[in-house]
């Protein structure tokens, strides 16, 4: 398995690199220089967190990533900002949180249709923006008390996680592994 990590400037990038090395090779591309010709159809594309430019106000900064979301035939996994990009690409609004979630554990709860998590678990989060409405064509698999936390496209291998699996210990690794199995 080969991973393409689209680096959106997330400080925990090294942890994501470590997590993906367990499953195969990875190449890293900065958001400013995505090279579609180097991305194979069977690559697992991971859109990392970050915040150089907020998704809500990007004015085209993430245009290459949006194109990738729309056209890549293989698996796409969006983490934090990456999930927000996926949600917005498919028509869901991105909302500014009343209060920023700064580096803390939160509890997420599975929806009835979730096979990714089956009981409440604690995960690590840090973000200012959130997804509260499912994008068209997606199922919600988990929520926190206020936001959507895991989404899955109904017909395409596109996933989103608002939390950071690379910082969530064993729980994050298990969620990531479950997604890769599907």
- Annotated active-site residue 149? The verdict is no
pTM of the model: 0.93
- Annotated active-site residue 166? The verdict is yes
List 80, 149, 153, 167, catalytic entry: 80
CA dihedral 90, 12, 19, 3 (to 10 degrees): 50
In degrees and rounded to multiples of 5, residue 150 shows phi and psi of -135, 130
Token representation of residue 158: 């596109």
- Containing domain of residue 130, as a range? 2-181
- Annotated active-site residue 167? The verdict is no
List 10, 65, 149, 166, catalytic entry: 166
**Per-residue pLDDT tens for 61-79?**
899 999 999 999 999 999 9
Distance from C-alpha of 125 to C-alpha of 108, rounded to nearest angstrom? 11
Predicted confidence at residue 129, as pLDDT, reads 85
Q: What is the CATH number of the domain that holds 53?
A: 3.40.50.880
Count of structural domains, the chain: 1
Segment of 6-10, 26-30, 100-104, 156-160 carrying the highest mean pLDDT: 156-160
* Nearest CA-CA partner of 159 in 123, 115, 128: 115
């Amino acid at each position: 398995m080969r991973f393409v990590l689209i680096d959106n400037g997330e400080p925990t990038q090294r942890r994501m690199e470590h997590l993906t090395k367990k499953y195969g090779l990875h190449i890293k591309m900065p958001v400013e220089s995505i090279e579609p010709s180097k991305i194979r159809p069977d690559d697992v594309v991971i859109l990392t967190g970050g915040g150089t430019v907020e998704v809500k106000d990007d004015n085209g900064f993430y245009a290459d990533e949006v194109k990738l979301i729309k056209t890549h035939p293989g698996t796409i996994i969006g983490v934090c900002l990456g999930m927000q990009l996926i949600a917005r690409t498919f028509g869901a609004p991105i909302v500014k949180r009343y209060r920023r979630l700064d580096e803390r554990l939160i509890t997420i709860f599975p929806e009835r249709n979730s096979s990714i998590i089956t009981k409440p678990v604690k995960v690590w989060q840090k973000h200012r923006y959130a997804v509260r409405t499912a994008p068209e064509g997606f199922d919600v698999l988990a929520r926190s008390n206020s936001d959507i936390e895991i989404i899955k496209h109904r017909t395409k291998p596109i996933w989103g996680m608002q939390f950071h699996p690379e910082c969530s210990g064993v729980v994050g690794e298990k969620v990531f592994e479950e997604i890769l199995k599907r």
